[in-house]
Amino acid sequence: PGKVFLFYGGRATKPSPKYNAGAVVEIKYYGLGLGAALVEEVDDDPGIPHMPPHHFRTISEVKAMPYGSIVDVRGIILSCTNVTTVHIKKTDEKKAKRNYTIIDETDVIEVAVWDDKARESVITPVVAETRPVATLKSARLVEFNDGSLVAGDHTIVQVNPDILEVDTIRDWWERQSAGLGVHECQNDNGLQADVIDLMSN
């Protein structure tokens, strides 16, 4: 669970999408007011939401948006890789990476997570086998594979959170998989996943 803090002496401003993508507000401390600045941890208040509300878009809507867009999505987890090591030639760095794939009523999309996010991911191959619902808040759309998502430092990833949109997509998946069966296929990018007929209701 998160912690609750009181902020004194700062100025609340609109966050910069370039430096603080996905944030709702920034609190800045500067100038002569620094002497009066105070950040204090307090007891949790059940009335305070633990995170901003989601503004979910379908995967097909996301893929039609400009690259670099910050989006909220939810879908069934179809597959997940183990953590691999990727060599970045440009910087000569080695980075940990994990990929997983989610599906909703409209399309399928791949999600990449890097470094500590990959190593500490709540989504793993074992979790993916149960076909849970994943929600991503503030994921970034990138050009790779004709449109995929990156779950960065500001992205909040949850599995089966207690929200209405999770129940809706789970009900859809259960109807689809029960009525049509699930089969494995490979798309043009070589991504293997269990998929179903998206055109059926």
Read off the pLDDT of residues 100-153 as tens digits, 9 standing for 90 and up.
999 999 999 999 999 988 998 999 999 999 999 999 999 999 999 889 999 988
Q: pTM for the full model?
A: 0.68
Spatial CA neighbour of 62 closest among 106, 17, 128:
106
Q: Are 86 and 98 in contact (CB under 8 A)?
A: no
Using CA atoms of 133, 138, 141, 147 in order, give the dihedral in degrees to the nearest 10: 10
DSSP-based three-state secondary structure for 100: strand
pLDDT at 38: 79
Q: Which domains does the chain have, with CATH numbers?
A: 4-42 (no CATH), 59-181 (2.40.50.140)
3-state per-residue secondary structure call for 127-158: HHCCCCEEEEEEEEEECHHHCEEEECCCCEEE
